[in-house]
Amino acid sequence: MKTMTCNQLGGACDKEFHANTFDEIEKMRKNHGMEMFQKGDEPHLNAMNKMRDLMTTPDAMNKWFESKRKEFDALPENE
């Protein structure tokens, strides 16, 4: 298992996600983001807007995901 926080994944809080693969953690981040979006949590809404500005092209989006995937891969395994 590896751990990344909401902040590390382009979010806006210290919530930790634990997963074995990047795809899993990305799914958790997405669910958490949706939850916060529905609550109208302002820091998360701002973070989402920032992400949207970053991801204007599929290429930019891929690059972001690849950099996060590398970050995830470089993390040490939790016992």
Q: How far is the CB of 60 from Zn ion (least distance, A)?
A: 22
DSSP symbol at 75: S
Q: Which stretch binds Zn ion (CB under 5 A): 6-14, 20-28, 50-58, 64-72?
A: 6-14
Nearer residue to Zn ion within complex by CB, 47 or 59: 47
Site for Zn ion in 7-66 (CB under 5 A): 11, 13, 15
What amino acid is encoded at 13 in this protein? C
Say which residue the tokens 């809404």 belong to: 45
Cα distance between residue 9 and residue 2, in whole Å? 13
Nearer residue to Zn ion within complex by CB, 58 or 64: 64
**Count of C-beta atoms within a 10 Å radius of residue 25:** 23
Residues that bind Zn ion (CB under 5 A): 6, 11, 13, 15
